[in-house]
Structure 1
Amino acid sequence: MDETAGSAFDRERILQAFDWLGREAIAAGQRLDIAVYGGSALMLASNFRYASEDVDVSLLGAAWPTWLRTAVDRIAEAFGLSQDWLNDAVEFHLSAFADRASDHQEFGTFPRDDEEVGLTVFVPAADYMLAMKLKAMRIADPAKGEQEAADILNLMRVVGITTPEEALAVLAKFYPKSAAQPEKQLFLLRHLLARPQGLVDAPRYPR
């Protein structure tokens, strides 16, 4: 593909990359389960994100096999992506209180055009996704703030909450230490809820 290295993903490019990873897993005689987080999870599973810079993942119950690292490099070259387009740095930010079964849901299996499955992709449940956004709370970031604000507002609507206190209860479920000193989140949430622009009329997660 004639793309600029490091350019953002759209939804179809991620799905194509997952198809490739699924075929590589089948060729290696393995089946891989991964969970996708952050902007990529929202882009895949919602109707209010349309691009992502990279794909934040956690390999569920496995270390990175050699074939996977090789495949990731091949995809980076073919798609014109940075070498770390698929990365597990997000694992540092995952909640120890999140359950694989109840706090995640299956997004899909890959490759999409084959009855054999090499890759299964999961995304966090909406309340877990919201808690991760609240913990990071980057709405004051001049580069990403507006998108982060829209993500939080849309996820709050999906979860069915409308107040800062309800949002902090979701944060406490997954990140009790962060919720124990919520001054930053409270201040930013009150500011955010006073200007609810950027919302999707009917946000869906998952779509």
Structure 2
Amino acid sequence: MAKSNNIGLMDRDKLLKIFEYLNERLKENQLQLEITVYGGSIMTMVYDNRPATRDIDCVFSETNIKLLDNILDLTKFTFNLSDDWINEEIKEPLKSLLKEDKETYKVYSNLKILKPKAEQLLAMKVLAARPEPAKDFIDAYILCKDLNITTRTELLDTVSDYIPLTLLGERQINFIKYLGEDLGYDWE
């Protein structure tokens, strides 16, 4: 029974195999694609703090959508992924961003994978501030450590570069306080 919970889970190796497969299908169809990957997939691939992710939060560049949908369906079948393995819902929170700072993660012959810089990813995690089982808190903790953020001011300065502070409500403020506490700092 527990095995069914793992259907479609993608660890770092599987994610990279999926991207290689996508690249091969793109090459066969003489299609170039740029994809920006966010959230859990980036935390799984770059920071390796998650054993796996259920979906790939991403945004695709403009391309032949009919052909791309076919390639994505082939990928889903080949890797036994869930129906919602591609999640473009990230487009909504991206509308709140003041700017995007992307960098290249990996380049294949026909596929280019971009990711947000760690500072932007941290700002997005603070804005989301979802309760468990979402991993926003753990991710924000790891990103603060990675960026050497030790004060509330440093955190808020980083967040305000990407998100208007007026969007921070009670949930985000509590999230920041608990984050500071877990990091060993008094961010009251």
TM-score by length of 2: 0.85
* Matching of residues 5-84 of structure 1 within 5 Å: 6-60=7-61, 62-63=62-63, 65-84=65-84
Using the TM superposition, give the Cα deviation of residue 164 of structure 1 relative to its aligned residue in structure 2, in angstroms: 2.4
C-alpha separation between the residues in 2 aligned to 1:98 and 1:47? 26
Unmatched 5+ stretches in structure 1: 111-116, 198-207
Tell me if structure 2 keeps the 8 A contact 1:45–1:123.
no
C-alpha separation between the residues in 2 aligned to 1:11 and 1:149? 20
C-alpha separation between the residues in 2 aligned to 1:195 and 1:142? 15
Secondary structure of the corresponding residue to residue 67 of structure 1: helix
Unmatched 5+ stretches in structure 2: none
Using the TM superposition, give the Cα deviation of residue 84 of structure 1 relative to its aligned residue in structure 2, in angstroms: 2.4
Match in the other structure for 1:124: 116
C-alpha separation between the residues in 1 aligned to 2:50 and 2:150? 21
Match in the other structure for 1:193: 180
Using the TM superposition, give the Cα deviation of residue 6 of structure 1 relative to its aligned residue in structure 2, in angstroms: 4.2
C-alpha separation between the residues in 1 aligned to 2:44 and 2:65? 26
The amino acid across from 1:104 in the alignment is K
Match in the other structure for 1:171: 159
> Whose RCO is larger (CA < 8 A, sep 6+)?
1
C-alpha separation between the residues in 2 aligned to 1:121 and 1:159? 22
Percent identity over paired residues: 26
The amino acid across from 2:116 in the alignment is P
Using the TM superposition, give the Cα deviation of residue 155 of structure 1 relative to its aligned residue in structure 2, in angstroms: 0.5
Using the TM superposition, give the Cα deviation of residue 193 of structure 1 relative to its aligned residue in structure 2, in angstroms: 2.0
Using the TM superposition, give the Cα deviation of residue 64 of structure 1 relative to its aligned residue in structure 2, in angstroms: 5.6
* Matching of residues 132-151 of structure 1 within 5 Å: 132-138=124-130, 141-144=131-134, 147-151=135-139
Using the TM superposition, give the Cα deviation of residue 88 of structure 1 relative to its aligned residue in structure 2, in angstroms: 1.5
The amino acid across from 1:118 in the alignment is N
Using the TM superposition, give the Cα deviation of residue 182 of structure 1 relative to its aligned residue in structure 2, in angstroms: 3.2
Tell me if structure 2 keeps the 8 A contact 1:98–1:174.
yes
RMSD (Å), alpha carbons: 2.1
Secondary structure of the corresponding residue to residue 89 of structure 1: coil
Using the TM superposition, give the Cα deviation of residue 33 of structure 1 relative to its aligned residue in structure 2, in angstroms: 0.7
Judging changes above 3 Å, is the alpha-carbon distance between structure 1 residues 6 and 142 closer, same or farther for their aligned structure 2 residues? same
Match in the other structure for 1:114: none
C-alpha separation between the residues in 1 aligned to 2:65 and 2:168? 39
TM-score by length of 1: 0.78
Judging changes above 3 Å, is the alpha-carbon distance between structure 1 residues 181 and 29 closer, same or farther for their aligned structure 2 residues? closer
Using the TM superposition, give the Cα deviation of residue 17 of structure 1 relative to its aligned residue in structure 2, in angstroms: 0.9
C-alpha separation between the residues in 2 aligned to 1:70 and 1:196? 45
